Amino acid sequence: MSAVRAGVVARVVRYELRDVAKSRWLLGYALFFLLATDALLRFGGGGTRALLSITNVVLLLVPLVSTVFGTMYLYDAREFTELLLAQPVRRDELYAGLYLGLALPLALGFLGGLLVPFAVHGVGDPSQWRLLAVLALTGVALTCVFVALAFAIALRSEDRARGLGAAVGVWLLFSLLYDGLVLLGVMLLGDYPLERPLIAAMLANPIDLARVLLIMQFDVSALMGYTGAVFEKFFGNGGIAVAIAALAAWVAAPVLLGARAFRKRDF
């Protein structure tokens, strides 16, 4: 495996950024966050409550948009990918370029939409800065995770409709079905000690991981009863580091899976 030349990656990223930056999708995405955050700050009551509402929007929307946009972009760029691969460019370089060229503008669109209203309205309580920072970082991490998942899936299916379907299926699983399944498990196995399995279940789902990381910042974990106490204890003992490492692994694993698929793929 020959080394990736950063210069080549940077060139691909630069031009892809120009392309994606002019996309109406991205503009709409950033605008939505801008309007939603602004509205919640204006009418959502106190700063913390607004932040809690925004957290829910972020946890639902960032993965969905990253998944759909990532899948569609890769299918649309198929002929372009071919053209670039016919140049003296290595596959890993092009893959890195394509990935960063999409994850970066999506993350920036999200950050812009989220942070501009706060810059305008200000943050009421200094303790909320920390919350906002965690929210921003978590959103960026989720963008990276789901663009990578979208790429890994889209590269394994020639058929556009099937690829998109599978990607949305993964989003659906992680954002909606997963919690239901975990709850079902808890109900069925309620007589057993479930702390460890529950923490494992949380680490195995990037959205849950992000949610728990965020909720821990809100001082409402006490309201979450028994499991909340379990998490509190877990995060108190260096669990935060574990959670962040798990989120990083959630970015790395699909990126590497996608790179493998990209290397083997016939264009």
Provide, rounded to whole angstroms, the least separation between the CB of residue 23 and another protein: 6
- Please state the closest distance from residue 239 (CB atom) to another protein, in A: 43
Pick between residue 96 and residue 207 the one whose CB is nearest to another protein.
Answer: 96
- Give ∠ CA 138-141-145 in degrees, rounded to 5: 135
Q: How far is the CB of 184 from another protein (least distance, A)?
A: 38
Q: Does 3 bind another protein (CB under 8 A)?
A: no
Taking CB under 8 A as the rule, which mask of x and - marks residues 63-92 in contact with another protein? -------------xxxxx-xxxxxxxxx--
CA distances from 213 to 119, 160, 162 (A): 24, 34, 33
- Quote the tokens at residue 100: 């960063």
| Binder of another protein out of 4, 19, 123, 260 (CB under 8 A) | 19
* Per-residue tokens: 158: 């020639």
Q: What is the DSSP letter of 155?
A: T
Measured CA to CA, the distance from residue 218 to residue 128 in angstroms comes to 9
Q: How many angstroms separate the Cα of 222 from the Cα of each of 208, 225, 228, 240, 259?
A: 18, 6, 6, 17, 42
Q: Which residue, 134 or 154, is less far from another protein as judged by CB?
A: 154
Q: Does 6 bind another protein (CB under 8 A)?
A: no
Among the listed residues 22, 119, 126, 161, the single contact to another protein using CB under 8 A: 22
Longest dimension (CA), the chain: 62
List of residues contacting another protein (CB under 8 A): 2, 5, 7-8, 11-12, 15-16, 18-23, 76-80, 82-90, 264, 266-267
